[in-house]
Amino acid sequence: MAIRRVLAFAAVLLAREVCAQNLTQDQLNAVKDRLAESAKQSWELGTRAQALTELDTPSFSVLTVNADVPPSTSAPDSLNEVLDIAKNAVSTRPTSLSGPQPLFANSAAGDPPSVGVSVLIANWTGRGQQDSLDYAGAAKDQLEFLFNSVPHTDDGAISHRVEKLQLWSDFVAMVPPFLAYYGVVTANQSLVEEGYKQIKLYRSYLQDTSARGLWHHIVMGNNGTDPGHWSTGNAWAAIGILRVLGTIQRSQFSNQMKNEKKDLINWASEIHSGMYAHLRSSGLFGNYVDDDSTFDDGSSTALLASSVYRLALFANVHTFVPMAEQSRQALFATADPSSNNGSSLVHFSSDGWLTPVVNPENVGKEGSHSPEGQAFVVQLDAAYRDWLDAGSPGKNAASHPGADLTRWWVILLAILTGTALL
């Protein structure tokens, strides 16, 4: 088994001749169109809003190194789609309710806050005056709902579910970024610290120290638990950690929260280390990263790679940049190496759907379409663009002497075992 894993990794290292490219603007537009058509659930809309902000209006994204948090300018037209998502969420809240309530009814407790940052930006930029909607009130109701109406563990971890106390790795990308951003726009350091605290608590419950720091998917709550190391769940956790890190770094509280920033950098790095130990020769992760029987999944591969580029820009951590590059190249590879028009992509349908993907509503099954997977592709494209613009830090990390030595040891092992690498 160990030899097979080394050889699989060798295949990834040696597959440098793969025909890979960046997505063309037309291809990226097709991905965004399918995302717009398919995003319906609260977490899908929140993820779409985040992805569009990163790609189209990076100055408003907490994942942009030099962006102001909160933004110092009025909202440009490029942010209109994001603000429309916030508008639709606030305008469709039940009028019969008042006080603590989620931004979306009939949803998991942890999912509606994924739209919360967009609602806060809408309020900050004065959209409420144009729409005659109370964005500030909607954000406040969502915040109070989390603290007053949702179960908590004894030490304060907020449940991802309303009807029972249950912790999901997905939560880290949905709630802590909202809490941290809310704290920044209201000059409330305690609330920013609460965003950090929720990640710390979730890590204490979900991290599997016997599996290189990989995170379990769902714990507690009796029914519906999932102790497996779901790849998308680990990617959700990594990007949520980095969004809180980016919020703190760009805020007025950055100097006061140096220790928290160090923790967040280390926690994202832990997930990268655990995940990339299992990267397949295809350049993709399995749906459950350490279960070889599960199918390849493009969704988690795209999101985790985007988080690697972001960590390189935030903290000069370049360890896994070469492997993120391998994954990006695999995802964006053309089917025909002789083709120059880029019209035939291995991992996308002709109309722009990422494949293969996990079914977002049945994580043990392969799906045909994934709205969140589409958003992850947009996030990957945006992160890669920003990384390129910054001079591709860590691009040559794989060619330093230690990495070259590893490469030659892999080749020597193959020779000694009489196993073909390719």
Position 238 in a domain: no
Q: In terms of pLDDT, which residue wins out, 235 or 344?
A: 235
pLDDT score at 421: 39
Mean pLDDT for 141-151 is: 97
Maximum pairwise Cα distance, the chain: 73
pLDDT score at 338: 58
pLDDT tens digits along 243-279: 999 999 999 999 999 999 999 999 999 999 999 999 9
Position 359 in a domain: yes
Position 226 in a domain: no
pLDDT score at 404: 41
Tokens of 6: 């080394």
* Residue among 269, 122, 143 nearest 194 (CA): 143
pLDDT score at 401: 36
pLDDT score at 286: 98
21 confidence band (pLDDT: 50, 70, 90): low
Lowest mean pLDDT among 9-18, 60-69, 190-199: 9-18
Three-state SS annotation for 266-317: HHHHHHHHHHHCCCCCCCCEECECCCCCCCEEHHHHHHHHHHHHHHHHHHCC
290 confidence band (pLDDT: 50, 70, 90): very high
Mean pLDDT for 283-299 is: 98
Tokens of 32: 């965004």
What distance in Å separates the CA atoms of residue 195 and residue 117, rounded to the nearest whole number?
13
What distance in Å separates the CA atoms of residue 392 and residue 414, rounded to the nearest whole number?
32
> Three-state SS for 233?
helix
Tokens of 410: 């892999």
CB atoms under 10 Å from CB of 370, counted, come to 28
pLDDT score at 203: 98
Contact 242, 177 (CB under 8 A): no
Position 352 in a domain: yes
What distance in Å separates the CA atoms of residue 129 and residue 110, rounded to the nearest whole number?
28
Whether the predicted model's global pTM rises above the 0.75 cut: yes
Q: What range does the domain containing 376 cover?
A: 1-38+278-422
What distance in Å separates the CA atoms of residue 7 and residue 416, rounded to the nearest whole number?
12
222 confidence band (pLDDT: 50, 70, 90): confident
* Cα–Cα–Cα angle for 110, 136, 46, rounded to 5 degrees: 35
| Cα 249 to Cα 256, 298, 362, distances in angstroms | 10, 30, 36
Share of the chain above pLDDT 90, in %: 81
Q: Given a cut of 60, is residue 13 above it in pLDDT? A: no
What distance in Å separates the CA atoms of residue 153 and residue 164, rounded to the nearest whole number?
11
Contacts of 179 (CB under 8 A, 6+ apart): 113, 143, 146, 191, 192, 194, 195, 198
* Cα–Cα–Cα angle for 230, 236, 239, rounded to 5 degrees: 140
Tokens of 292: 């070889």
337 confidence band (pLDDT: 50, 70, 90): low
Mean pLDDT for 223-245 is: 97
314 confidence band (pLDDT: 50, 70, 90): very high
Position 298 in a domain: yes
* Residue among 226, 366, 199 nearest 299 (CA): 366
pLDDT score at 397: 73
402 confidence band (pLDDT: 50, 70, 90): very low
| Cα 301 to Cα 112, 175, 308, distances in angstroms | 24, 22, 11
Contact 160, 172 (CB under 8 A): no
* Residue among 276, 382, 378 nearest 321 (CA): 276
Mean pLDDT for 341-357 is: 87
CB atoms under 10 Å from CB of 33, counted, come to 13
What distance in Å separates the CA atoms of residue 244 and residue 193, rounded to the nearest whole number?
10
Secondary structure letter of residue 214 according to DSSP: P
Quick one: how many helices (H) and strands (E) in the chain?
16, 6
pLDDT score at 224: 92
pLDDT tens digits along 42-101: 999 999 999 999 999 999 999 999 898 999 889 999 999 999 999 999 999 987 788 999
Tokens of 189: 């350091």
Q: Given a cut of 50, is residue 175 above it in pLDDT? A: yes
pLDDT score at 317: 97
Return the residue matching tokens 């663009």.
385
What distance in Å separates the CA atoms of residue 342 and residue 385, rounded to the nearest whole number?
18
As for how many domains the chain has, the answer is: 1
What distance in Å separates the CA atoms of residue 133 and residue 119, rounded to the nearest whole number?
11
Position 69 in a domain: no
227 confidence band (pLDDT: 50, 70, 90): very high
pLDDT score at 419: 42
